[in-house]
Amino acid sequence: MGRAFEYRKAAKLKRWGHMARTFTKIGKQIAIAVKSGGPEPENNPTLRAIIANAKRENMPKDNIDRAIKNAMGKDQSEYKSMTYEGYGPHGVAVFVDTLTDNATRTVADVRSVFNKFGGNLGTMGSLAFLFDHKCMFTFKKKDGVDMEELILDLIDFDVEDEYEEDDEEGTITIYGDPKSYAAIQKHLEEYGFEDVGGDFTYIPNDLKDVTAEQRETLDKMVERLEEFDDVQTVYTNMHPEGEEE
């Protein structure tokens, strides 16, 4: 297996933040989906996928319904997706994905953390070469489904042949071309999979090894960034298994 696949598998075991913060972030995603595609999940594939993710995070139905209702309000803030990238300590690349209604506030918050840890915030796109942008879908396993056949059916959407199986959760996660997000979701739903949760992710294509001490500092930086409500996810190219022998 490739190093990028190792990264995804190991990183999946590590969750940051508290449940309340997770619900706040999902609420913002719901707001954007409702604003762009309407409040009815059956007519809004993006909202449908976010709701599936919310259920997987154990977000109560009342919270989901409230987020949809709030998004329909006339005074609801307009959130925008903004990404910030730069180098953290020890030359590790850091990519910060945000949803914000105040970009000035958000960039100031993100820059303050980079500065505190001796990093440097770069210009948008400056580290794009270090990460592959992918869409990802997680769905419940289905009896009788041949995964090789499914992946072959999705080959036109640049879906990777390597996929993740979570035996404990009974789920499968696949990765594909972000531009094919809607087409992949439609195919999976037509295939009979239920609660198909979709999202976008950045996968490092050049992992950097660090010492245990360096990892501790970088972990603190990531945790500090993810304390901000505007921050959705923080990605780094730090090797998830630590320094290689």
Residues of the chain with CATH 3.30.70.980: 80-129+207-236, 130-203
Q: Determine the pLDDT at residue 85.
A: 95
DSSP 8-state class, residue 75: T
- pLDDT, tens digit (0-9, with 9 covering 90-100), for 180-223: 999 999 999 888 888 899 999 999 988 999 999 999 999 999 99
pLDDT above 70 covers what percent of the chain?
Answer: 88
Cα separation, 80 vs 86, in Å, equals 20
pLDDT by residue (tens digit) across 62-116? Answer: 999 999 988 887 555 678 889 999 999 999 999 999 999 899 999 999 999 999 9
Say if CB 151 and CB 174 are below 8 A apart: yes
For residue range 112-147, what is the model confidence (pLDDT) as tens digits? 999 999 999 999 888 989 999 999 999 988 888 888
pLDDT at residue 12 tops 50? no
Query: For the chain, how many residues are written?
Result: 245
Largest CA distance in the chain: 57
- Nearest alpha-carbon partner for 235 in 88, 123, 107: 88
- The pLDDT value recorded for residue 15 is 39
Give the CATH fold of the 130-203 domain.
Alpha-Beta Plaits (3.30.70)
Task: Tell me the fold of 3-71.
Answer: Arc Repressor Mutant, subunit A (1.10.10)
Q: Which pair of structure tokens corresponds to residue 26?
A: 């999902």
**Cα 47 to Cα 151: distance, rounded to the nearest angstrom:** 24
Cα(196)–Cα(173) distance, integer angstroms: 10
pLDDT value, residue 70: 86
d(CA 219, CA 234): 11
Paired residues of 236 in beta bridges: 94
Q: Give CA–CA dist 52/92, Å, rounded.
A: 33
Strands 120-121 and 80-87: antiparallel
User: Start-end ranges of CATH 1.10.10.200 in the chain?
Assistant: 3-71
Rounded to two decimals, the pTM is: 0.79
Place of tokens 């919270």: 63
pLDDT of residue 242: 45
pLDDT in tens, 29-57: 998 899 888 999 989 999 999 999 999 88
Identify the CATH homologous superfamily for domain 80-129+207-236: YebC, transcriptional regulation domain (3.30.70.980)
Q: Which of 201, 142, 140, 146 is nearest to 175 (CA)?
A: 201
Could you give the CA distance from residue 100 to residue 88 in angstroms, rounded to a whole number?
Answer: 22
What is the spatial distance between Cα 221 and Cα 159, in angstroms, rounded to a whole number? Answer: 32
